[in-house]
A and B are shown apart, each in its own frame.
Chain A
């Protein structure tokens, strides 16, 4: 009842494990018919649901894009090992089926004596859903000859180039598919990752993975990054559908029709030299960003959400001309169309060889146009004072697929069908 095809014969065909699906949270007791009827209600445009409440899996856009960042995340890039287009299709069906079940929650399929259990059990016998979002994207390499998709590449999708201050490590870059799993709790994220990996082993293999988290308000407002600054304050208000359509979603236009409802996804893995940072004066730190560390307010304001008035400070006496916020968004008519939606997470992965903490930022942003938005902002930031304290070493360009509209739909249908 929870998959897009007859679940009974999943393991008979194809090449993936295709574990039977469980009983969804809706109508578990009452049976399949009720669950099916119930599902139609959840379709619609996703609203900017607060973290933890769940965005709903079905909609014209994927969840996990306009919603607030959650406390826990895993970002992965995969190489597709499926042999051909048919197998790629099966892979995306399977990812959809698992994501639909995992985000809704419910009882994992009992398999009796015919198999090992269908679920790892790390979330207990009944999956809570728990606000999990699963966001999938495709990289430029998927549009090579392997799957006959050369003529379907989103117009602006390319392999992420190296920017001025980058120090890219190939092993941490690019990939055929991206997958971001986010939830209020790490056990939910890790369970989802384990489940999806188990059901897709033959079809895709992780290329790189970075786990991240965001923090609760300290003490209020937007979560802070490892440099101690609130990160995400000046995002465009995508709860306004008009703004989201202007900044995030790819709609009509020159793009291939299948892309409608998707968005260009950029992920940048950026190491932060936190020990070095800790030895920098507060004034210098604040002038690098152009904001107060403690309140998050622009240096010409007093509250976090005060709007900086660059025009009144043409020589940068208060907010330096080369500060991060001023370069990233000069707030002029000319630069207005380069605004983008940022969803950054912090990462922490142990120690470095020189005894330093290996920490940084999983910078994720969404936009309609890679060049007009991300690349333009990134180029403006070239050589900013902050570059001495951070080092982008990985990431990639992806296209976040259009949403899964209903129970019959699947991730990538418009691309592959």
Chain B
């Protein structure tokens, strides 16, 4: 790296255009934007370009960091970075064009992204704080409805360690793992349909002891599919919804599915009263099974779900919020870990080169799983309210750490436009 001279090399040719998929806010006020852009262009002309930007110069940075003003537009993408330095610093990105843009600071040779600002509205300036080591960098400007433009390559000399960066993941990257996961979910739904059929049969013949035995395996199959609930739409609420805390809410006819049946099975309700809910549950699951081949999971949801499954575990299972009498919240938590693993397995090839902490993530999963498994005795799970203080603290510690290790996964798999 240090062999390269400081300086600027000509921009790369614009890569072919792609489609944009994001869960985040995008600038849409195109009409307002044009007026602002005109003003902005004038300002840029006045500043002479190339050097520190007039707007940024006017106010000394209060953060004590080095600031560099950067132009964002198709023609001038990345201009203004004339004195490259390593370290933590701020680029004040000023969109001088007429359209909203995403700006990435990339290594043009590896494609890794060091920093991003999305939805930079025309005429506005926003900061991008990054830590840079020695290496080559270029701003990439991705305007809505236009091809990406890569600005001049800037070289930071020396032997400073590189800052955090990852290659972006685009929609295209995520299609194969999404399809594979979707297929896996299809197999689980088939398994689930067999299980809810058995549960329904138990209840139909009035064998509530069998129903109490068969309820958990069925429920756990469902709990392993955490990343697909979105795609299930309304069926998720019908199959696995919970009742409000309001007194009497458990008797609300809209309260259906696994937890409705759980409530009845563990509160001495009659088989007759559970036939309706059991039939409805089995019906909803079979509908899901029949419709699944036509469903398309959203690739953008893959990374998010990998951490959200466990966020839900912490919020609903570790608090026993969803326990309607069976005391199996920790069994559900354990199934949720399986579900997290299932999605991480699909994402692993993309994650490995991008997440420096993957070994810690794996270790956290192993540890959390071992902690939970130790809370199952002779096939019976300890209920959350029966945990000793030390057990409770260990569960909290393991899940807390696991969640922190999963946070990067969601960040890395935010679908980004690369071209």
A residues whose Cβ falls under 8 Å from a Cβ of B: 8-9, 11-17, 20, 22-23, 25, 28-29, 31-32, 79, 81, 107, 109-116, 125-126, 198-199, 201-205, 207
Contacts and interface: CB of A to CB of B under 8 A. Distances in A.
Given A15-B364, A114-B166, A114-B408, A9 B397 contact: no
A81 B393 contact: yes
B354 to A, nearest CB: 7
A8 B130 CA distance: 15
A114 B66 contact: no
B404 interface: yes
A8 B356 CA distance: 9
Nearest to A83: B367
B356 A112 contact: no
B12 to A, nearest CB: 20
Interface stretch (B34-42, B108-116, B252-260, B329-337): B108-116
Nearest to A201: B400
Interface in B166-207: 166, 168
Given A20-B164, A198-B404, A113 B411 contact: yes
Nearest to B401: A202
Given A201-B397, A204-B397, A205-B397, A113 B364 contact: no
Given A15-B364, A107-B65, A113 B113 contact: yes
Contacts of A12: 356-357, 359-360
Contact of A15 (B87, B88, B163, B367): B367
A114 B409 CA distance: 8
Nearest to A110: B129
B396 interface: yes
Interface in B41-62: 62
A114 B412 contact: yes
Contacts of B360: 11-15
Nearest to B402: A202
B410 interface: yes
Interface residues of B, number: 49
B64 interface: yes
Nearest to A118: B164
A114 B355 CA distance: 7
Contacts of B355: 114
Q: Is the interface of A mostly helix, strand, loop or mixed?
A: loop
24 contacts: A8-B161, A12-B359, A14-B360, A16-B401, A16-B404, A22-B88, A23-B65, A23-B88, A31-B86, A32-B87, A79-B393, A109-B164, A110-B88, A110-B164, A112-B115, A112-B130, A113-B113, A114-B355, A115-B164, A115-B408, A198-B404, A199-B404, A203-B397, A207-B393
Given A14-B360, A79-B390, A202-B364, A113 B66 contact: no
A29 B398 contact: no
B2 interface: no
Given A15-B360, A110-B129, A28 B65 contact: yes
Which of A8, A202, A207 has the most CB atoms of chain B within a 10 A radius of its CB?
A202
Interface string B125-154: 000011100000000000000000000000
Interface in B9-28: none
A15 B401 contact: yes
Contacts of A81: 393-394, 396-398
B401 A17 contact: yes
Which of A20, A28, A199 has the most CB atoms of chain B within a 10 A radius of its CB?
A28
Given A113-B113, A114-B411, A201-B400, A125 B129 contact: yes
A189 B262 CA distance: 44
